């Protein structure tokens, strides 16, 4: 174990083996840090923040701070729970849950780049890549193997499906279905075909996902009609997951498909 002499580590914190804690780091009571974690200079771990093994916490990260929620009451017992082998670059902020006994959670093998903010009660799955300066409101869910481009902003209480590619500089207040490419404002520009191939999905599965996408977005049906039509067919696991996601959409609804350019983007050719 290596703890820099300028670091402040509470004797009530739990530290695993081979932990490295850099200069001016603050680790408060209630924090638990798993084996092999690295905390770079001036990072702050507060509240009940629980880290698994081999996480990298970059310069200036703040994990476990109080949520930015007017309903939050001081003294609320909530937490941030982090899995294993995650990399958080400079100035990532992750706020703890807003309600009693709730948590903000990050799974395994995720890469959150500089300036990412994960709001209270949000959930990030496994193997996601979230680029610089992405902002998630509270209660956002990000499913596995999703890639989020830089500078995106996400309203609270929305979901981002698995294997989604979100292009940079966009904004969303509606759910983004799995396997799609999202862009502009609450719009989809098609399927994440390259991402699905890289994820190892079979040709049969990819073609079935394409058929599911067409049924929902290109057949002239509304969402309820498309879901009813989908029930008349047998679908594989991935395509059924697509329809299940739509079925469970939040009250904000799902992003629409468009071939048009974003009318608010005056810089596009």
Structural domains of the chain, ranges and CATH numbers in brackets: 2-142 (2.160.10.10)
Tokens of 194: 């390259």
**Which parts of the chain fold into alpha helices (H)?**
193-198, 203-217, 223-230, 237-247
Angle at 120 between CA 114 and CA 125, to 5 degrees: 65
What pLDDT is attached to residue 140? Answer: 98
| pLDDT tens-place string over residues 79-117 | 999 999 999 999 999 999 999 999 999 999 999 999 999
The residue to which tokens 């610089």 are assigned: 132
Enumerate the β-bridge partners of residue 135.
117, 153
Enumerate the β-bridge partners of residue 160.
142, 176
9, 19, 69, 87 from 53: Cα distances, Å? 18, 9, 30, 11
Contact 168, 149 (CB under 8 A): yes
Chain centroid, CA 139 distance in Å:
10
Tokens of 139: 């209660």
Mean pLDDT for the chain overall: 95
| pLDDT tens-place string over residues 114-158 | 999 999 999 999 999 999 999 999 999 999 999 999 999 999 999
* Window from 22-26, 37-41, 151-155, 251-255 with minimum mean pLDDT: 251-255
What pLDDT is attached to residue 180? Answer: 98
CA distance 242 to 245: 5
CA distance 252 to 63: 29
207 CB neighbour count, 10 Å cutoff: 13
> Model confidence at 260, in pLDDT bands (50, 70, 90)?
low
| pLDDT tens-place string over residues 8-27 | 999 999 999 999 999 999 99
pTM above 0.75, yes or no: yes
Tokens of 27: 């680790």
The residue to which tokens 């994990």 are assigned: 63
CA distance 73 to 25: 27
What pLDDT is attached to residue 259? Answer: 80
| pLDDT tens-place string over residues 205-226 | 999 999 999 999 999 999 999 9
| In the predicted structure, residue 33 carries a pLDDT above the cut 50 | yes
Closest CA to 198 of 238, 149, 162, 163: 163
CA distance 146 to 126: 9
What pLDDT is attached to residue 160? Answer: 98
* Window from 58-62, 195-199, 229-233, 258-262 with minimum mean pLDDT: 258-262
Chain centroid, CA 51 distance in Å:
17
27, 133, 153, 231 from 110: Cα distances, Å? 22, 16, 18, 35
Contacts (Cβ under 8 Å, ≥6 apart) of 243: 212, 216, 227, 230, 235
Q: What percent of the chain has pLDDT over 90?
A: 94
Chain centroid, CA 237 distance in Å:
22
């Amino acid at each position: 174990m290596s703890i820099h002499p300028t670091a402040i580590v509470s004797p009530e914190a739990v530290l695993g083996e081979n932990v490295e804690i850099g200069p001016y780091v603050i680790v408060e009571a209630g924090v638990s840090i798993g084996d092999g974690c690295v905390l770079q200079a001036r990072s702050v771990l507060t509240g009940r923040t629980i880290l698994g093994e081999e996480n990298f916490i970059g310069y200036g990260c703040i994990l476990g701070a109080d949520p930015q929620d007017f309903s939050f009451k001081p003294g609320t017992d909530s937490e941030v729970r982090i899995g294993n082998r995650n990399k958080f670059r400079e100035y990532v902020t992750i706020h703890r849950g807003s309600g009693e006994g709730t948590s903000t959670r990050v799974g395994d093998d995720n890469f959150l780049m500089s300036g990412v903010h994960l709001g209270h009660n949000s959930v990030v799955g496994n193997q996601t890549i979230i680029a610089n300066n992405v902002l998630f409101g509270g209660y956002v869910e990000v499913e596995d193997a999703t890639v989020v481009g830089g500078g995106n902003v996400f309203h609270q209480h929305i979901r981002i499906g698995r294997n989604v590619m979100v292009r940079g500089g966009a904004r969303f207040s509606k759910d983004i279905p799995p396997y799609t490419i999202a862009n502009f404002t609450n719009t989809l520009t098609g399927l994440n075909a390259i991402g699905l191939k890289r994820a190892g999905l079979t040709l049969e599965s990819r073609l079935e996902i394409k058929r599911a996408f067409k049924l929902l977005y290109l057949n002239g049906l509304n969402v309820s009609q498309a879901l009813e039509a989908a029930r008349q067919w047998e679908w594989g696991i991935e395509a059924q997951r697509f329809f299940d996601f739509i079925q469970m959409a939040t009250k904000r609804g799902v992003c629409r498909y468009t071939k048009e350019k974003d009318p608010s983007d005056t810089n596009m050719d």
